[in-house]
Amino acid sequence: MQISVIIPLYHEEAIIDLMAQRLINVSQTDWEWIFVDDGSQDKTVEKLRPWLDRFDHWQLIRFSRNFGQQNAFRAGLNAAKGKAVVFLDADLQDPPEKMIDLIQEWKKGFKVVVGVRLSRTERGLRGFLFRSFHQLFYRLTNGVMPKNSGTFGLMDRVIVEELKRMPERSVLFQGLRGWVGYSRSTIEYHRSARIGGEVKQTYAKLFTQAWDGITSFSTLPIQWISNLGLIISLFGFLYAVFLLSIKGLQFFGKLQTLEVPGFTTVSVAVLCLGGVQLIATGILGQYLARVYHEVKQRPTYIVESHESRGV
């Protein structure tokens, strides 16, 4: 098998027909298609089945419930037989036709080929959050993931085997494939609007995935709160010296005693310090929660059924 294409599915009944037709138009005889149904409760699988016979090689993996997109990709990686693996979302915002460009770069010798978006259709708050995350993630991780890139990309079998060896449970594969190293190339394309169905990535899921990505690849948030604590301590020390100096001058009669109400100063100091402490505790708690999640060693997904043909 030359190429394995992994496509997570979750409530995609509205676009299955168009998706399958476009995939068939680019499919080749030495490709395998791995569809991972991430616990869909609609007719996604029922609408996909009539199309499966038109693919030469396919696998259909069904989860017992929704385990998330990253775990769907993980299941696909564990099942893939190809010399290279492509991640492709089902919503067709990343054009399947661009997989040919990914493969051409791979044949030049690059182990990782990532799709970089020249433009995207998201506007307003959603677009702002996407842009902000990519900028922040790029800076925090020293460029482990190219700016304006996502899941769409290709990995050589060498990269796939390295990713399969990683036992961590909270993953961001689009970052990990760059972290592994080896030669990397990019292709550019314009991202399309979603053609049907509802957007599955809610703001809550986006924030969770962004935080998982940042805490998976960087300890800078902990360093930031440490630095913030040092800065506040420095200002507190300077303020204490200032107050002691005032008291000393008043004691020796060098400065007239002033009646200054202290409630505001104390309240601001307590509230600011309390807020910083809560933020620091929350960030540390998030890292500790990741450790707890890893230590439990629960399976990252449960397969209800696994069908295949020609694989």
Q: How far apart are CA 59 and CA 74, in angstroms?
A: 14
What pLDDT, on a 0 to 100 scale, did the predictor assign at position 120? 65
What pLDDT, on a 0 to 100 scale, did the predictor assign at position 28? 87
What pLDDT, on a 0 to 100 scale, did the predictor assign at position 91? 84
> 32 and 57 in contact (C-beta within 8 Å)?
yes
What pLDDT, on a 0 to 100 scale, did the predictor assign at position 122? 59
Per residue of the chain (311 residues), give pLDDT as tens.
789 999 999 988 888 998 899 999 998 888 999 999 998 888 999 999 999 988 989 999 999 998 888 899 999 999 999 999 999 988 888 889 989 999 999 999 999 998 888 876 656 666 666 666 666 666 666 666 777 777 889 999 999 999 988 877 777 788 788 888 888 888 888 887 666 556 556 656 666 666 666 666 666 666 677 667 667 667 766 766 766 676 666 666 655 555 555 555 665 666 666 667 766 777 777 677 777 667 777 788 898 899 888 77
What pLDDT, on a 0 to 100 scale, did the predictor assign at position 34? 94
> 155 and 85 in contact (C-beta within 8 Å)?
yes
Residue appearing with tokens 């540390």: 284
What pLDDT, on a 0 to 100 scale, did the predictor assign at position 87? 93
Sheet strands side by side (includes 112-119): 184-190, 112-119, 149-156, 84-87, 3-9, 31-37, 58-63, 303-309
Report the half-sphere exposure of 154 (CA within 13 A, side-chain side). 28
- pTM score over 0.85: no
What pLDDT, on a 0 to 100 scale, did the predictor assign at position 204? 65
Q: How far apart are CA 197 and CA 47, in angstroms?
A: 14
Q: Which two tokens stand for residue 153?
A: 């990309």
What pLDDT, on a 0 to 100 scale, did the predictor assign at position 79? 92
What pLDDT, on a 0 to 100 scale, did the predictor assign at position 53? 87
Beta bridge partners of 303: 63
What pLDDT, on a 0 to 100 scale, did the predictor assign at position 309? 84
What pLDDT, on a 0 to 100 scale, did the predictor assign at position 73? 92
